[in-house]
Amino acid sequence: MNELKKIKNALISVYYKDNLESVIQQLNTLGVKIYSTGGTQDFIEMLGVAVTPVESLTSYPSILGGRVKTLHPKVFGGILSRRELQSDVEQMEEYEIPEIDLVIVDLYPFEETVKSGGSEDDIIEKIDIGGISLIRAAAKNFKDVVIVSSKKEYNFLLEKILIAQKGASALQDRKMLAVRAFDTSSHYDVAIFKHFDTAENVFKQSIQQSAILRYGENPHQKGVFYGNLEEMFTKLNGKELSYNNLLDVDAAVSLIAEFKETTFAILKHNNACGIASRPKLVDAWKDALAGDPTSAFGGVLITNKKVDVESTEEINKLFFEVIIAPSYDDKALEILKAKPNRIILIQKEVILPSKSFRTLLNGVIEQDKDMQTETVSDMQTVTKVSPTADEQRDLEFANKIVKHTKSNTIVLAKNNQLLASGVGQTSRVDALEQAIAKANKFGFNLKGAVMASDAFFPFPDCVEIAHTAGVTAVIQPGGSIKDKDSVAYCDANGMSMTMTGTRHFKH
C-alpha cells in the first residue's frame, strides 16, 4: 500500500526561487525531466540544468501578458491522469501527454501586495490562476503525484524524497503534502475573499448555510448563524432562536452530554442555575428548579430523557424560552405547544466538532474542546480521610458541572443536585461566598455537601470557608505551590479532598 513511486517528470513554476537550487540540482542528478515556464525556466537554465519549456509541450506560448501559461490539457492531463486506469493510459498515449509525477508551484504574493499598499490593478494581477489550479490538480491526484506548494516544503522534498528515497515517494508522504497544499490554497482563497468582502464575518468563507437571527446579543446588533441547525435539532414549535438562545442551547447541549442517568438542567446566561439527576424525570425537574427558581425564569431547559406528561405538567408552571429533549409524549407536546412562542426542540444524535473557534482582535483563535471528564477513578485522595461512596458520587457530579460553568467558579452539590454555584468571579473566594449565599437563600442545608473548583486553591481560605458552611468533601485539580496548606486544613478538620490534575477554566 505504501509502495514507492519513482519521479520521472517534474513541473516547476514558482514566484520565489529561494532555496530552490539544491532541489533542481538533485532532480538533475536523478535524471528527472524538468518542465518549466518564464522566470523559473530562466533560473534553471542559469544553473546549467536542462529544462523543457512548457510551451514546447502545449504548442502555445505564454499569452495575455503571462495570465495564461500552464492552463492546457497536456499539462493538467499529465498531472491528473490515473496511472492504474487503462482508459487514462490509452488517452495519454493517444495525445502524447507525459505523466507529471512532481509539481513544484507557489502562488503570486497576493497578501504581500495588499500589505505593501499596491494599487487595485496590482492586487488583481496577483490573484494566481494557473498556480492555484496546478496545486489543486496535483493535490487531488496525490495517489500518483507529489505536490510541493511552498518553499517551506523544499527541505522535506530534498532530504526525504530526493536524497533518502532516491527520487521515489511514498503514499503517506504524497498525502501529507497534499493536505498541506490544500491548506495553502484555502488560506490563499480566504485572503482574497477577506480583501474584497471586508464587512463580512470571518467564518463565512467556510460555511455556506446561514440564518439571519432576530438580532445579536442586543437589539441594536445584527446577528447571523452560519451553520445548519436542522442537522442538530427538529424544531416542533415556537419563534426563531435568537443569538442569546443559541449560546444557551450550545451550553445546555454540552452540559447534558456529561450525564447518562436521568438528568434535567436549567441554564441561564450559559451557566447551569439548576441541575439534578434522579430515577424519575419529574423529580429531576423539581430538584433542578429548586436550585434557583428565581434564575430559572426565562431560561433554557434540557433533559436527556423523553419528556412525559407528569413532568410537563410541572414544567408548564414556569415561563421558559426553550426546551430540548430527545423526544416527547404526544400529550406532553400538546401541553407545551399551548404557548405559541415557546421553542420546543428534539435533539438529534450528532457528533459535534472537537475544535472550538472564537473571533479575537483581528483574527480567530482555535483550541481543542475540553473533552476531559473525570470519574471516581481519576480522583486522587490527598487527605487522611477519604470521601465516602456518596461523596464520591457527588464529587463526580459537581465536577461535571464546574467544567461547564464560567470561571472563576465554585459548585456546591449534594445527592446529585446542584445546590448553588458561584460563577464568573474574579476571585475564587468571591465565587464560593456567592455560592454559599445562594444556597442559604433557597433554604439548602450545606451539611454534608461537596465543593468542586475549576482550578486550584492558591490559599486554604476557601476550604476553611466551605468547612464552616458544612462542606465535608472537596474536588479540585491541584497544582498550587500551597496545595499542602489546603490539605493540612482538611486533615485538621476531618474533611476529605481529592485532586484530578485537570483544570477546567471556561472563559
- Positions marked active-site: 140, 269
Quick check: helix, strand or coil at residue 6?
strand
| Residue 5 contacts residue 169 (beta carbons within 8 Å) | yes
Q: Which residue has the cell 464529587?
A: 395
The amino acid present at 358, given as its one-letter code, is R
| Residue 414 contacts residue 449 (beta carbons within 8 Å) | yes
| Residue 71 contacts residue 60 (beta carbons within 8 Å) | no
Phi and psi at 21, nearest 5°, equal: -55, -45
Segment (H or E) for 237: strand 233-237
Phi and psi at 93, nearest 5°, equal: -70, -40
Cα–Cα distance measured from residue 44 to residue 31, given in angstroms and rounded to the nearest whole number = 14
> What's the distance, CA 21 to chain centroid?
40
- CB-based contacts of 396: which residues, under 8 Å, 6+ apart? 374, 375, 376, 379
Half-sphere exposure of 76 (CA within 13 A, CB side): 14
Pairing of strands 263-268, 300-303: antiparallel
- CA 361 → CA 107, 358, 408, distances in Å? 27, 10, 23
Pairing of strands 271-277, 300-303: unpaired
- CB-based contacts of 258: which residues, under 8 Å, 6+ apart? 373, 400, 403, 404
Name the maximum alpha-carbon separation found in the chain.
90
Cα–Cα distance measured from residue 403 to residue 288, given in angstroms and rounded to the nearest whole number = 18
| Residue 326 contacts residue 344 (beta carbons within 8 Å) | no
Segment (H or E) for 179: helix 171-196
Cα–Cα distance measured from residue 22 to residue 34, given in angstroms and rounded to the nearest whole number = 14
With CA atoms as reference, report the closest residue to 475 among 365, 401, 371, 364: 401
Cell of 312: 410537563
Pairing of strands 343-347, 322-325: parallel
Which parts of 197-308 fold into alpha helices (H)?
Answer: 243-256, 281-290
Phi and psi at 232, nearest 5°, equal: -95, -40
Q: Which residue has the cell 518553499?
A: 151
With CA atoms as reference, report the closest residue to 99 among 146, 167, 50: 146
